[in-house]
Amino acid sequence: MTLPDNFSAKEFLKNRRPEEFSSSIVVETGVLDRVQLEHYLATLNIRSQELEFETFAKKLCEKIM
Protein backbone atom coordinates (compact mmCIF):
# COMPACT_ATOMS: atom_id res chain seq x y z
CA MET A 1 0.00 0.00 0.00
CA THR A 2 1.39 3.38 -0.97
CA LEU A 3 0.40 6.71 0.47
CA PRO A 4 -0.53 9.70 -1.66
CA ASP A 5 2.16 12.32 -2.20
CA ASN A 6 0.19 14.94 -0.28
CA PHE A 7 -0.36 12.72 2.80
CA SER A 8 0.39 14.42 6.11
CA ALA A 9 0.55 12.35 9.28
CA LYS A 10 -0.05 15.47 11.36
CA GLU A 11 -3.20 16.38 9.43
CA PHE A 12 -4.44 12.79 9.66
CA LEU A 13 -4.01 12.72 13.45
CA LYS A 14 -5.43 16.24 13.83
CA ASN A 15 -8.57 15.19 11.96
CA ARG A 16 -8.95 12.12 14.17
CA ARG A 17 -8.39 13.88 17.51
CA PRO A 18 -8.57 17.68 17.13
CA GLU A 19 -8.80 18.18 20.91
CA GLU A 20 -5.18 17.00 21.22
CA PHE A 21 -3.85 19.88 19.09
CA SER A 22 -3.61 23.39 20.50
CA SER A 23 -4.16 24.94 17.07
CA SER A 24 -7.55 23.26 16.71
CA ILE A 25 -10.73 25.25 17.18
CA VAL A 26 -13.40 23.46 19.18
CA VAL A 27 -16.90 24.46 18.16
CA GLU A 28 -19.57 23.94 20.78
CA THR A 29 -23.12 23.55 19.59
CA GLY A 30 -26.36 22.90 21.35
CA VAL A 31 -29.97 22.45 20.44
CA LEU A 32 -32.79 23.95 22.47
CA ASP A 33 -36.40 23.79 21.43
CA ARG A 34 -38.02 27.25 21.23
CA VAL A 35 -41.08 26.10 23.19
CA GLN A 36 -38.89 24.79 26.02
CA LEU A 37 -36.91 28.03 26.15
CA GLU A 38 -40.06 30.16 26.21
CA HIS A 39 -41.52 28.07 29.05
CA TYR A 40 -38.25 28.23 30.99
CA LEU A 41 -38.03 32.02 30.65
CA ALA A 42 -41.70 32.53 31.47
CA THR A 43 -41.45 30.54 34.70
CA LEU A 44 -38.13 31.85 36.05
CA ASN A 45 -39.71 34.00 38.74
CA ILE A 46 -42.01 31.19 39.91
CA ARG A 47 -38.95 29.03 40.58
CA SER A 48 -36.98 31.96 42.08
CA GLN A 49 -34.15 31.45 39.58
CA GLU A 50 -33.66 35.04 38.43
CA LEU A 51 -30.16 35.24 39.90
CA GLU A 52 -29.12 31.90 38.37
CA PHE A 53 -30.38 33.07 34.98
CA GLU A 54 -28.48 36.35 35.33
CA THR A 55 -25.27 34.40 36.00
CA PHE A 56 -25.98 32.14 33.02
CA ALA A 57 -26.60 35.13 30.74
CA LYS A 58 -23.33 36.78 31.84
CA LYS A 59 -21.34 33.60 31.14
CA LEU A 60 -23.02 33.22 27.77
CA CYS A 61 -22.11 36.80 26.82
CA GLU A 62 -18.50 36.21 27.90
CA LYS A 63 -18.32 33.11 25.73
CA ILE A 64 -19.72 34.90 22.69
CA MET A 65 -17.43 37.94 23.01
Query: What are the boundaries of each domain within the chain?
Result: 30-65
What is the distance between the terminal CA atoms of the chain, rounded to a whole angstrom?
A: 48
- 21 and 14 in contact (C-beta within 8 Å)? yes
Of 53, 58, 51, nearest to 37 by C-alpha is: 53
- How high is the pLDDT of residue 20? 79
Digit-coded pLDDT (tens) for 8-58: 888 888 888 887 777 767 677 888 889 998 998 999 989 899 999 999 999
pLDDT score of 23: 74
pTM of the model: 0.43
Model pLDDT, residue 42: 92
pLDDT at 3: 67
